[in-house]
Structure 1
Amino acid sequence: MDQPARRTRPATRWALLVVSSLAVPVGAVLALRPFVSLAVLVVAVVAGLAALGVVHLVADRPAAASDAGAAARWWWLAGVAYLLAAAVVVAWPGPTIAVLARVVGVALVVDGVLDVLAARRAHGTGRANAALSGVTSVVLGVLALAWPDVTVLVVAVLVGIRVLVTGIRGVAAALRGTWRRGPSRQDRRARPGRGRLVVNVAALVATLALAAAGVALDGGTARPDDFYAAPADVPDAPGRLLRSEPFTSAEIPHGATAWRILYSTTRGDGTPTVASGLVVAPDTATGDAREPADVVAWAHGTTGVTPGCAPSVLPDGLAAGALFVQDDVLAQGWALVATDYAGLGTAGPHAYLVGEPAAHDVLDAVRAAHQLDDVTLSDRNVVWGHSQGGGAALWTGIVAPDYAPDVDVLGVAALAPASNPTALLAHLPDVSVGALFASYLAEGYAATYPDVRFADVVRPGARTVVREMAHRCLADRGVVVSALTALLLDQPVWAHADPFTGAFGDRLTQNVPSGPIDAPLLVAQGTADSIVVASSQDEYVAARCAAGYAVEHRAYDGLDHVALVEADSPLVPDLLAWTRDRLAGAPATDTCP
């Protein structure tokens, strides 16, 4: 027979009603506005934990003297655990989202363990409900503690839903004057509770799916192997080949041979470092009767900002960096020298959208490629780059005469280049996953410049999620979590309404490639680009023209950011013809008025 529902005392009933009524809006805020701000999140989490604790203490008290045996020794522990968690958050100096995750994780694990213990004392459906609820709570707690990708979702959304549901049930119980919790931890003989059983099964399945997704996403992360480790005696001279080995990939076409290389280069502050890259050459440049191959130096588009995001590390890495026409390059008899940039295969930091070190990486890759024994390269070089790499290509043209006068750059093709980091940053709020690129920018600049502090650039409530996003490559499976997080963010990640002020703004302006480029310059842009907008590119080209520099500017109607460089783009035959002209020494076109 089911135990009768426990009728609450008037004072307890009113306390339950007040606390539960407060829990409803608190749970709603946590579930629906998890990224509003760290201060609001802390207050909401504290209030939610306190509400859960009070409701547990009121609702879980043994209903009858028969329950007062072993159950009486632990009925209050879940409530106390939640109240203690709330107190820890309040007392913690400068709580962060990571702190919230750990505190909430511990509370969820304690609650879950108590549910599992209760299952041992229950019977029938009550045992199943308690066990399912306990396992779900434990798994969620472990996720909060161990899987940072769902930190905010666990802390805010999942806990928010739990607080919201508990609050609604508490209000209903207070208005009814009784508390019917179904199979509680004290029930030795639970009523059937089949509806609750369905809910608990669904909750456990969803939680296990979340955990499985975390394992799968983590398993899709590429990691550099020992090839990318810097040797102990890195030479100060840039462009020295330190290591090479044959490279195989489905992206390397028939009739070509590839190597991955490790070479010395220079950071923007002049510090020696190492970078990695790929060299792909047609067989005509590698056989016994080899002929020197002209070089296309490729600067790839955004792949991420952390080691593991290098095209030579990633599966289908050339495509990840927006190179889809390597077959066309090699069919022309040209060799491809593709830097990974320092910090993407090798140890970081990676100077994302910082011009000079990217240019050094491009030029030193060409220098190192000439030191390979099994390929013969000519001294004629043309630089191509897309997006981030388009900006790197522009900077390569600027710094080449002084930094690498031995590398003869005959042309620079900047394809949808990130030519103005300030304008790009200003446009990111209009991009659906703009927060992801903002995280790369914040992490890259803070890691590169001592005067740019991450804590000054990113608002407190977004710092953990920004760092999490910054440590995923665009080609990783886990970027799905980044994209979801970016879509859920309800305000920009920046600490100030105007992020262009102070050291960060100064450094952004400093990285606009506005200097002279001696080589012929092609700037190609899709008019439908949603990331590097055409109007911003027009302004950049106009500024170069006004400064007296020659530019060939081509616009491609209806093409978006990546479509511009895909194999079937009308840009491709134009780019190949333009490159042939540069290598042949033909006069360049200037479209400036």
Structure 2
Amino acid sequence: MIAGEETLDPIIAALDRGWAVAVPDGENLGITGLGSHTFLAGRAAGHVALDLARAAQNLPEFAGVTGPVVLWGYADGGRAALWAATLHGDYAPELDLRGVAAGAVVTDPAALVEIIDSGPWSALGLAGLLGLSRAYHHLPLRHVFTADGHRAAQRAETLSAQILLAQYQQPLGHWCERSDPWNDPIWRYVLARENTTGFDELRIPVHLYHGRRDSIIPYELAHRLAADLRAGRTLLTWQEYDGDHLDTAERSALDVVNQLNTFLT
């Protein structure tokens, strides 16, 4: 199971091992008429990853043969992989989940948005607000938008990441009634549901990795997550790279496959 950046390197590396690879596209992506994406919604992404693992094992090509599962994700995909591992025991206990590899993990959406706001990646804050509001569509979360913000949201939720980053470089507060929409009471409830509490209770091996020069997801957040996992006695391995966000995604593929292989043997 692989989720994350738009690169074929992880898929090719896994296929070269002879593994069956399933790649989730995220909730509602690839299916028309069901609304926008659920970017940064870790719980929703975790359920998608586990559902896809179930579905893959029931394909006719496998003739009912099941096997061990490992999860691998990068950035929001890494967040999805860790959430899948957290939800696994209650949601999909029949899956033989052996381990997780997660790179450049988004541990705290609100903290990330505060860090990237007003920079070249600020549009990801808008994408996160849209994604979480879609995942929690039963709550009135888009009330924080101004009239211009509502119009921008309608356009932005249909765009690719590349176009979104190019066209929406304003701080998140530019589209909202308040400069810190994450501190709205309803949003604080959603973010409490989406924080990393529970990751430190994992009872399967976890491999974390991160680039020291990552300009999107700070290196320090990865160290904090690693410390939490170790404090919870998770069997943890760690690897860092002297690269930025995209460099690390590309350079890490073979290392991660080798680490995942140790979980399977």
- What TM-score do the two structures reach when normalised by structure 1? 0.41
1:578 to 244, 254, 259: 259
The SS at the match of 1:553 is strand
Do 2:126 and 2:172's aligned partners in 1 also have CA atoms closer than 8 Å?
A: no
Q: Counterpart in 1 of 2:95?
A: 407
1:443 to 121, 127, 130: 130
* Residue 412 of structure 1: how far off its partner (Å): 0.5
Question: Does residue 363 in structure 1 map to residue 50 in structure 2?
Answer: yes
Q: Distance in 1 between matches of 2:56 and 2:232?
A: 35
1:403 partner letter: Y
Question: Does residue 506 in structure 1 map to residue 189 in structure 2?
Answer: yes
Coordinate RMSD, CA, aligned:
2.3
2:23 to 338, 347, 363: 338
Q: Counterpart in 1 of 2:249?
A: 565
Question: Does residue 495 in structure 1 map to residue 177 in structure 2?
Answer: yes
The SS at the match of 1:443 is helix
Do 1:422 and 1:500's aligned partners in 2 also have CA atoms closer than 8 Å?
A: yes
Q: Counterpart in 1 of 2:223?
A: 538
Q: Distance in 2 between matches of 1:342 and 1:561?
A: 24
Residues 541 and 349 (structure 1), Cα distance of their counterparts in 2 relative to 1, 3 Å cut = same
The SS at the match of 1:405 is coil
Do 1:421 and 1:509's aligned partners in 2 also have CA atoms closer than 8 Å?
A: no
Question: Does residue 455 in structure 1 map to residue 143 in structure 2?
Answer: yes
1:390 partner letter: G
Do 1:352 and 1:440's aligned partners in 2 also have CA atoms closer than 8 Å?
A: yes
Question: Mapping of 1:43-192 within 5 angstroms?
Answer: none
Question: Does residue 381 in structure 1 map to residue 69 in structure 2?
Answer: yes
- Structure 2: unaligned runs, 5 residues or longer: none
Q: Distance in 1 between matches of 2:3 and 2:70?
A: 11
Residues 356 and 525 (structure 1), Cα distance of their counterparts in 2 relative to 1, 3 Å cut = same
Do 2:74 and 2:103's aligned partners in 1 also have CA atoms closer than 8 Å?
A: yes
- Structure 1: unaligned runs, 5 residues or longer: 1-296, 302-319, 585-593
* Residue 490 of structure 1: how far off its partner (Å): 9.8
Q: Counterpart in 1 of 2:156?
A: 469
Residues 546 and 422 (structure 1), Cα distance of their counterparts in 2 relative to 1, 3 Å cut = farther
Matched residues, number? 258
* Residue 328 of structure 1: how far off its partner (Å): 1.7
Q: Distance in 2 between matches of 1:491 and 1:366?
A: 38
Question: Mapping of 1:254-269 within 5 angstroms?
Answer: none
Q: Distance in 1 between matches of 2:75 and 2:175?
A: 22
Residues 331 and 484 (structure 1), Cα distance of their counterparts in 2 relative to 1, 3 Å cut = closer
Question: Does residue 429 in structure 1 map to residue 117 in structure 2?
Answer: yes
Q: Distance in 2 between matches of 1:466 and 1:348?
A: 12
The SS at the match of 2:197 is coil
2:208 to 489, 501, 523: 523
- What TM-score do the two structures reach when normalised by structure 2? 0.87
Q: Counterpart in 1 of 2:82?
A: 394
Larger Rg over CA atoms: 1
Residues 490 and 519 (structure 1), Cα distance of their counterparts in 2 relative to 1, 3 Å cut = closer
Do 1:381 and 1:410's aligned partners in 2 also have CA atoms closer than 8 Å?
A: yes
* Residue 455 of structure 1: how far off its partner (Å): 2.5
